[in-house]
Structure 1
Amino acid sequence: MDSMSAISEELASIDGQISDIFRTLSNEFQKLEKIKDTNRQSRKLEEITERMRECKMLIKRFERVAKEEESRNTPDTNRMLNEKNKSMTKELNSYITLKKQYASSIENKRADLFDGPSGEEGFGNENGLLASSMTNQQLVDRGNHMMDETDQAIDRTKKVVEDTINVGAETAAALKNQTDQMSRIVNELDSIHFSIKKASQLVKEIGRQVATDRCIMAFLFLIVIGVIAIIIVKIVNPNNKDIRDIPGLGPPAQNRKLLWDLK
């Protein structure tokens, strides 16, 4: 604590934030151990990954500020800050390895068809076994490399999510257009059905009128035939008393005698 009291307030603040994140990560992994559902475990790993990214940024900031203040610090302070940076990187590296092991375990539970997760798990175990044999600089480099890989994986995941959202939006728009088209088609079919119904009624009315006209024409035809028959009979037998005279066709009237003709 005496050596830490010699550093600036900014570095002390960053160190305190990093320590808080490490405590949070430890608690989160303990909670993760008790979760059995793979979906909840995945969500918890996402939260842990986000905390790791924040911790990585703070460690880089700690390293940058320490280099800026290097000329103002004593050699012992600079050496202590260097060791502190390596220690924090090593601790974060251990959490990253643990996170990868959990991720591989979740993928194995889901019976994924890809073999990648199992390979990553073995690689993480190997890193955990070899961590004690690495130098501090190697640990720092390895930790930075693993954090970069984690960032890239998160970026790829975000890109996939964005693409999925875009595809979903396009699909929703296409479905809406198709729904509108179907609504218009249904309305047009209703209009056509109504028109056909009205046309059918009109055809029936016309049919009834035609039938009525035909009856009238047939009746008139019968009348004309009857008149023609009477005319023919009167012409053939003008003295037939059973048939009444038809104006203009009866026999000529007898010559009337005037009174002065009788004198």
Structure 2
Amino acid sequence: MDPLSAISEELAEIDGQIADIFRALSNGFQKLEKIKDSNRQSRQLEELTGKMRECKRLIKEFDREIKDMESRNDPATTKMLNEKKQSMIKELNSYVALKKQFATNLDNKKIDLFDGPTEELGEENVLLASNMSNQQLMDNGHQMMDETDQAIERTKKVVHDTVNVGTETAAALKAQTEQMSRIVNELDSIHFSIKKASQLVKEIGRQVATDKCIMALLFLIVVGVIAIIIVKIANPNNKDIRDIPGLAPPATRKLLWYPR
């Protein structure tokens, strides 16, 4: 059983992660020695540098855990944990030094790659210029000026095309903005129309309700009149309905003659 597990599960977990990184660093530097291509060596070195940063972060976390537990641990345990931390730092520093060594070798290789051809090219240009006559030098200068003018013209064309593209884009954006404004206005009109239609429907509903009430009242009046007529026909001597206008029998009219 890991002695750190008896002290703290957090410390044991951090110690295991650091040990895994140290194994990966060891294997990585062994592979780095076998790689001949400088680009692949650079990528491998960057990957190992990232692992070392992660290892440094875990060691700091390990140190914080030790300080948090210092009041609960006895001096012997605290001493053992600090020695463990120092051992981790020492091993990490060894990989950092190894990384610096490989980085220096890579930089030297890059310098050799860039400096060698440059020096040869410079010597070749000097020899070429010394062997050329004045007319050849002038012709060569004119040719370089023509090439420069052509490059400038191509640059102007690119700038001109870029300006045209920008103008077309601005016009398209303006047209889209106007179209969006028209759509918003149409939506406002539709909303207003829907609101007016809703109000009209409510008014029609109220009018229909009023007409229904009037029709119901008329229906009741007609039914009442029909009922009175039926009762009068069935019982013509009923005094309760004799005085109803239009249903009472005609009164006997007497003509009064007044003498002169």
Query: What TM-score does the superposition give when structure 1 sets the normalisation length?
Result: 0.45
Choose between structure 1 and 2 for higher RCO, CA contacts under 8 A separated by at least 6 residues: 1
Query: What TM-score does the superposition give when structure 2 sets the normalisation length?
Result: 0.46
